[in-house]
Amino acid sequence: MTDTTTRRNFLKMGMAGASVLPFLRAMPAAAQGADTLVVVSGQTINSLDLHRTGTNRASYQVAVNCYDRLVSFGTKEVPGGGLSYDYDTIVPELAESWTVSEDGLTITFKIKPNATFWDGAKVTAEDVKWSFDRAVSVGGFPSVQMKAGGLVRPDQFEAVDAETFVITLDHPSKLAIPDLAVPVPFVINSAVAKANATTDDPWAMEYLHMTPAGSGAFKVLRWTPGEQLVYERNDNWVGGPVPAVKRVVVREVPSPATRRALVERGDVQMSFDIPDKDAAELAEIIDVYSTPIENCIHCLCTNTKFEPFQDADVRKAVAYAVPYEDIFQAAAYGRGAPLWGGEAEITDIAWPRKTQYYTDIDKAKEYMAKSGYPDGFEVPLSISLDLASWMEPAALLIQESLAQIGITAEIEKIPGANWRTAALVEKRLPLHLENFGGWLNTPDYYFFWAYQDGHLFNSSNYRNEEIEDLVNATLHMPMDDPDYAPKIKRMFEIVLEDLPRIPLYQPALNVATNGAEGYEFWFHRQLDVRPLSAG
C-alpha cells in the first residue's frame, strides 16, 4: 500500500500563451497573486451548510474551513513523507480545556475567552449549545452522526456561563470526544442565524445554505455554484495558527485530463482527489500524496428493495461474478488494498478485511441456477459522475461479468450534485457503486453507518436484527472489554454472508501539488485549506 510519493525531478513545462486556460483568464486578478492558492477538483459543492438535507460530501470542506469545533484531531507525519490527522490525539480548537467526570458521563469545556465570530461577536457557550441543539434536531445525517457519540437530545447540553459548556451523556462512550472533532458539530454564530430564521425555518437552513456564519480560519468570499468557491482568511482566528495564505480558490473542473494539465504545468497549485492513473504518472514529476483511507471500502451495493436481490443466491452469484483483480487494476491502478480472496474464518477484528469471495464465473452460474431467477433479469447499475474515474471502469467490467450469468446491467450515470439524494437519502438505486469511509476509526462505527437500518450510508436498505443489536452493544463499548472482539467477529460473519455490500478494495486519496505545501490528509476526504502555504 502506497503511503506518500514525494517530489521527483520536477519537469519544467512551457508556460506561455496556451498554458493559461480559459477559466483562469476569467478568474479575478487577486486569485492568481502570490498570496493566493488555486486548487482544482472534480467534485461539486452543492451547499455551504453541512446540516442541510442533501448536502453532498464535497461540501463538507466548508464546515472544516469556515467553522470551528470545540476540539480537533492532532497532526502526525506519514511514513514516506507528508502529513495526516492523528486519531489518537485530541487538541483544542474553540475549547481552551476540558474535563471528564470519573463516571465518564459529564464533559465540561472552557471556551477560549478571545474567540470571536467573523462579525466580531464573542463566541459563547450559548452559541455552542444552539449549534449542538441544531445538529441533534435537524434529523438525517447530522443527527445520526451526533448520535454515534452519544449526543441525541438538546437537554444533554448546557451553557453554564459564557465560557462554560457542559455535555451530559446517558452512558460513557469511547466515541464521545472523538465525535466532537468531526465536521458535524461546528459552532454557528447563533445571533446571526436566529436573525435569519423563520417560523417555518427555525434553524436558518435557507440562510446558512448560502451564507456561512462562523468563527473559522476562512470566510467564503464568493461562491458560484458549479464553478468555484473562494475562501478569504480570517486574520482573527484563534482555533489554530493563522493560515499562511490570504485566499484559496477551489475551482470545479470536471475533466480529469484538464485538471492534470493544469497542475502539471503549474497553472494551479493543487489538484485534489486525482484519479489513480494520474497519481501513478504524475508522481514522477511533481509531489503526489497517496494516502490509504482508513475504514473506507469501495463497494458494489445490492438494494434489498429490489426483488431479485432479496434472494441470497442471487447476491452470492453477483459476488462470485465480480472481476475483482481487473477492477483493482483498471480503476485503482493497483493503488490501495485488495479486499477479496481472504479466509472465510474470522480470527481478528481488523477492518477493512478481505472477504472470502473471489472471481469464479462457474460458481456464480451455479448460484444463479438455484436461485429464483435462473434466467436472469435486468437492473440499472448506477454510478456518480463525480466519482467516474473509478466508478466507470469498475461498472463496465461488472456489466460485462454480470452478462455472463444472465444479468443485464445498464449503466446509469448520475450527476454528482444529485448522487447523495438518490443513493443515500432516498436509497432508490437497485445496484450501485459506493465508497463510504468511517470517520471514527473503529469497525463498529463503520457498521453503525453502513449496516444499521435507516442510516445514511446503508444505501442497500439492509436490516438484520442481530446486526442491530450487535452494533448498539459495541458502539460505545471500550475496545478492551472482553465482549467486544467476539461481538465484532460475529458482525463480520453476518454481513459477509448476507452481502448487502460487496467489498471491492480499500482506496487511497490522491492529491497532486505544484507550488503548494502543508497538505494534510483527513478522514473526511475533503480539503483542509487551513495549513496550506505557497511552495
Q: How far apart are CA 293 and CA 275, in angstroms?
A: 14
CA geometry: angle 269, 271, 273, nearest 5 deg: 150
**What was the pLDDT predicted at 106?**
98
Listed by start position, the domains of the chain span 31-290+510-534, 298-506
Instruction: Quick: pLDDT tens for 73-103.
Output: 999 998 877 899 999 999 999 999 999 999 9
Sheet holding 520-521, edge to edge: 71-77, 83-92, 520-521
Q: How far apart are CA 402 and CA 375, in angstroms?
A: 12
Instruction: Quick: pLDDT tens for 302-315.
Output: 999 999 999 999 99
DSSP notation for 351-389: SS---S----HHHHHHHHHHSS-TT-EEEEEEEEGGGHH
* Beta strands per DSSP E along 162-303: 164-168, 218-224, 228-233, 247-252, 270-272, 287-292, 298-302
Q: How far apart are CA 46 and CA 388, in angstroms?
A: 18
The stretches in the chain having pLDDT less than 70 are: 1-34
Q: How far apart are CA 502 and CA 398, in angstroms?
A: 12
Burial class (CB in 10 A: 0-12, 13-18, 19+), 18: exposed
Q: Are 491 and 467 in contact (CB under 8 A)?
A: yes
Instruction: Quick: pLDDT tens for 480-525.
Output: 999 999 999 999 999 999 999 999 999 999 999 999 999 999 999 9
Task: Specify whether the backbone of 327 is left (phi greater than 0), alpha (psi in -120 to 50) or beta.
Answer: alpha
Q: Does domain 298-506 have CATH number 3.30.70.980?
A: no
Q: State the pTM of this model.
A: 0.84
Pick the CATH number of 31-290+510-534 from 3.40.190.10, 3.40.640.10, 3.10.580.10, 3.40.50.300: 3.40.190.10
Examine residue 352 and say whether the peptide bond preceding it is cis (omega within 30 degrees of 0): yes
* Beta strands per DSSP E along 170-227: 218-224
Q: How far apart are CA 231 and CA 163, in angstroms?
A: 29
